[in-house]
Structure 1
Amino acid sequence: MKNVILTIIVIVAFFFSGFSQNQPTERQLIENTIQRYFDGWATGDTTKLGGAMHPSCQLKNYNNGKFITFTRNQYLSLFKLHERTKNLKTSIVAIDITNNMGSAKVEISTERDLFTDYFNLMKTNEGWFIADKVSTRTPHKIFNVNAILPKKEIIVEGLKRPWSIAFMSEDEALISEKEGDLVKVNLLTKEKTKIQGYPADLDDSITGFGDNTGKFEVLLDPDFKTNKYVYLSYVALSSNNRTTKIIRAVLENETLQQIKVLFVAEPYTKERYHYGGGMVFGKDGKLYFTIGERLFSEQDQPAIPIAQNIEDRRGKIYRINSDGTIPKDNPDFGSKASPGLYAIGIRAAQGITLDTTTNKIWFTEHGTHQGDEINVLKAKANYGWPMKTTGKYRFAEFAPKPIPGNEYTDPVWSWLQTVAPTGLHFYSGNEFAAWKGNLLVAGLSKGSLWRMVIEGENIKSAEELFTDDRVRMRKVTQSPMGKLYILTDELSGKLIRIRNVAL
């Protein structure tokens, strides 16, 4: 008999133990009440919403300097049934319980606002109810990813007419100063370190305004992290005459080492203008660079104009391997043509860039009086100078003799005013989302920055930026992470970041 009684006791104890384990805790009961409130709020269901609130419940908030109180019925009258609010997120941040009283902090996030509610709850014989609520609303900062409001921010100052920049990382870059040094710049600390070992035949002496002599492009090898190769263009001096030279060097311990001459734009001459010097690597891994004709006046042209003479290295665009050898698939201009020749008819091209979406190379060209151009580079193309121009010659009486059989490639864009376009870049960052794929062009003459919408090889529209804040601009480019930068052409030049303050 004792065994039977003991068995019954164990069974009853087990039953009540299991029953108690299945009973919700007070916290869970409060969470259920709050969830009913959430569900009613999200759909306008006043049965659920009202069922979570005690009949005496009051709801309060403070808005625009006024303290507002709603009774339960007044609050419920604000709701109507609707589909569940889209992009709604609800959360219970905290719950505190003492006997039959409780408090909770909850958040309701919609597309536009974050509602933060503080509930006081009480437990009655019918369960837990919201006794009162205070609420605040915080509008979300709504981002329009396509909103654009560019603003300049100076990052580095005191650069001596900077010509080019090559990012070694997001926060460190090489900057080539036309009238100064090749420097490594830390964009965070602003520290500048001079790179040693620049070739001794450099000529950066300036005789006056319009003198183009000095350092030009600095370009990193596509495999720079492994081979440490940098490519430089500059004015080389020999027997008081000058020309453009392209070299490759290994950058080691902040010094140029193992310098290799890749190209010399012979002949050396006395002129100090239109050296070219722009460089870019194509998708094919080949090095493309511009060489100007170095004349100031078209009246000084020889019988066969410099840019049209395939034996003269000036006034051309070249394509070579990174070690200076000539690619076997280069266009054939004939046995007398300058090695590496890719296109002719160039006056004073400086900016050259790769459109990484199409793998096409675009370049800028300085005209004389107006006639500034943007061109798409094509193999064996003749861009016409000085046989034709979209502007005017410096001397109206200049009339070049036609060259039989020549065909000329027209620019994709030319300006009616003088812009002096230099560095250009296809934007691919995220900060200016609406600009993706646009061509940005820096201008010296009026201190302009142009944004151009491209469709194929056509420029559909052009917008001039910073018209109320002009400064001579030499280069526009972006960092590895897509930050937009410009270099200003000043005696105390600047590296400026363009920020989108609309975000």
Structure 2
Amino acid sequence: MRTKLLIALSPLVLIAASCGGPAAGDSPRQITKIEGQFAIQELGTFEAPWAMAVLPEGRLLVTEKAGKLKLRSADGMVAEVALPFTVDFGGQGGLGDVIAAPDFAKSGRIYLSWAEAGENDTRGAAVGTGILVLEGSAPKLEHFAVIWRQNPKVTGKGHYSHRLAISPDRKHLYIASGERQKMQPAQDPKSDLGKVIRLPLVSSGGPGGAPQQVSMGHRNILGLAFAPDGRLWDLEHGPAGGDELNLVKPGANYGWPLVSEGRHYSGEFIPHHDTRPEFTAPALYWNPVIAPGGMIFYSGKMWPEWKGQLLIGAMNPTAVVRVKISGEKATEETRYPMAKRIRAIAEDRDGSLLVLEDKQGGRLLRLSRK
């Protein structure tokens, strides 16, 4: 079922959490303001942050697009972790997603994605994994290996997607592979572009086989997460209108660029999903757009009434968007306005929310129940 919404509305360098001194500590919390649904605590700033991963003992990993991986400690201090690869920074490309393995507390394993340069001014997304070592004076990545490269590499600097998610059974790493603004490859089964990719994992967390295409016909996936029932959902940018929330089904084709609930930026009409029943329609779409930055399924105790619901960081309008999932149906419940574009969202250990603002000087904010 589909629901339409029409709403007018290198060596390690120690630096402070705000790229200055220590940020406001988590204990006791210093609430800087109360706004709408949330009590908001500023925890620091980052330079064009893109993703974050919550670690044990109050630590947090944050990626910055220009190619820096930052480790924030519970005391608010931030360290830079040197990366063993080169990031192609520009346009929508740079250092992308970061996730921790489910057994991170034991293994220390993390996964990263980034834009990688190729020959003749081409680029593509890449994914790697390594062990984050926290002992000693400086955190570092060891035993790092590239485990997937987007094929083919193409010109341009947009629509990498490269969001990551590990299946609940820990047997597969799922990779969102954007169509790189080339459109037609999303319908080509010989191309990685415009697909959701599944990479088998061995028990140690490394790759255990060849990557497999799960679904096709995607545009630019910026959210990828498993629901409590074990099913995978993706969230993607439409063209001019038509942002989509999709339940990812093996073998499904979501139709881009042949169908969409939006239009081309030129204003040219695109047939809608209901004109081509062979394509899988989104569970929810937005006109006007919300420009999603990321999403999580909430499982915490701070808002028990939200358990199992989807929380989306939105960039236009600037908001946290809450969506109720019921089976294969999705319904937007509420929008919580925010001051700036929300690029990433995560759930902390106590059930509070962490959000990262987009662009240079993007703040890390803790949202708590007021």
> 1:20-68 CA deviation, whole Å, 9 max, x = no partner?
xxxxxxxxxxxxxxxxxxxxxxxxxxxxxxxxxxxxxxxxxxxxxxxxx
Secondary structure of the corresponding residue to residue 254 of structure 2: coil
- The 3 A distance-change label for structure 1 pair 408 and 170 is farther
- The 3 A distance-change label for structure 1 pair 399 and 460 is closer
- Which structure has the higher relative contact order (CA within 8 Å, separation 6+)? 2
Name the residue aligned to 2:17.
none
Name the residue aligned to 2:207.
324
**Correspondence 1:155 to 2:43:** yes
What amino acid does structure 2 have at the position aligned with 1:168? L
Root mean square deviation of aligned Cα: 2.1
- The 3 A distance-change label for structure 1 pair 373 and 259 is same
Q: CA deviation at 1:397?
A: 4.7
> 1:75-107 CA deviation, whole Å, 9 max, x = no partner?
xxxxxxxxxxxxxxxxxxxxxxxxxxxxxxxxx
Name the residue aligned to 2:53.
166
Q: 2:343 aligns with which of 471, 474, 477?
A: 474
Secondary structure of the corresponding residue to residue 305 of structure 2: helix
- The 3 A distance-change label for structure 1 pair 497 and 360 is same
Structure 2: how far apart are the matches of 1:482 and 1:197?
A: 30
Does structure 2 retain, via aligned residues, the 8 Å contact 1:276–1:349? yes
Structure 1: how far apart are the matches of 2:269 and 2:156?
A: 20
Q: 2:219 aligns with which of 344, 347, 353?
A: 347
Does structure 1 retain, via aligned residues, the 8 Å contact 2:53–2:346? no
Q: 2:131 aligns with which of 250, 263, 274?
A: 250
Q: CA deviation at 1:198?
A: 3.3
Does structure 2 retain, via aligned residues, the 8 Å contact 1:161–1:180? no
Name the residue aligned to 1:219.
99
- The 3 A distance-change label for structure 1 pair 367 and 460 is closer
Structure 2: how far apart are the matches of 1:184 and 1:500?
A: 26
Secondary structure of the corresponding residue to residue 448 of structure 1: strand
Does structure 2 retain, via aligned residues, the 8 Å contact 1:265–1:314? yes
- The 3 A distance-change label for structure 1 pair 397 and 496 is closer
Structure 1: how far apart are the matches of 2:335 and 2:270?
A: 34
Secondary structure of the corresponding residue to residue 255 of structure 2: coil
Secondary structure of the corresponding residue to residue 429 of structure 1: coil
> 1:403-424 CA deviation, whole Å, 9 max, x = no partner?
xx98211111001112111211
Does structure 1 retain, via aligned residues, the 8 Å contact 2:290–2:317? yes
Q: CA deviation at 1:483?
A: 2.1
- The 3 A distance-change label for structure 1 pair 172 and 397 is closer
Q: 1:283 aligns with which of 168, 175, 179?
A: 168
Query: Within 5 A, what are the aligned runs for 1:68-87?
Result: none
Name the residue aligned to 2:367.
498
Q: 1:196 aligns with which of 82, 85, 107?
A: 82
Query: Within 5 A, what are the aligned runs for 1:70-149?
Result: 149=37
Structure 2: how far apart are the matches of 1:461 and 1:227?
A: 37
Q: 2:122 aligns with which of 220, 238, 241?
A: 241
Q: CA deviation at 1:170?
A: 4.5
> 1:147-191 CA deviation, whole Å, 9 max, x = no partner?
x9323221222x01111111111411111112251011014x221
Q: CA deviation at 1:229?
A: 1.5
Percent identity, please: 27
What amino acid does structure 2 have at the position aligned with 1:347? R
What amino acid does structure 2 have at the position aligned with 1:366? H
Structure 2: how far apart are the matches of 1:377 and 1:426?
A: 15
Name the residue aligned to 1:314.
193
Structure 1: how far apart are the matches of 2:252 and 2:351?
A: 32
Q: 1:441 aligns with which of 305, 312, 323?
A: 312
Q: CA deviation at 1:461?
A: 3.8
Q: CA deviation at 1:448?
A: 1.8
Name the residue aligned to 2:24.
none
**Which protein is bigger by CA-based radius of gyration?**
1
Does structure 1 retain, via aligned residues, the 8 Å contact 2:126–2:148? yes
Does structure 2 retain, via aligned residues, the 8 Å contact 1:170–1:481? no
What amino acid does structure 1 have at the position aligned with 2:125? T
Q: TM-score, normalised by structure 2?
A: 0.82
Does structure 2 retain, via aligned residues, the 8 Å contact 1:170–1:480? no
Name the residue aligned to 2:178.
292
- The 3 A distance-change label for structure 1 pair 499 and 266 is same
Q: 1:484 aligns with which of 350, 353, 356?
A: 353
Does structure 1 retain, via aligned residues, the 8 Å contact 2:303–2:369? yes
Does structure 2 retain, via aligned residues, the 8 Å contact 1:274–1:293? yes
Query: Within 5 A, what are the aligned runs for 1:412-451?
Result: 412-451=283-322
Secondary structure of the corresponding residue to residue 175 of structure 2: strand
Q: 2:159 aligns with which of 274, 277, 284?
A: 274
Please list every run of 5 or more consecutive structure 2 residues that lacks an aligned counterpart in the other structure. 1-35
Secondary structure of the corresponding residue to residue 225 of structure 1: helix
> 1:435-470 CA deviation, whole Å, 9 max, x = no partner?
22221111122212101122222123421112xx43
Structure 1: how far apart are the matches of 2:118 and 2:318?
A: 34
Secondary structure of the corresponding residue to residue 349 of structure 2: coil
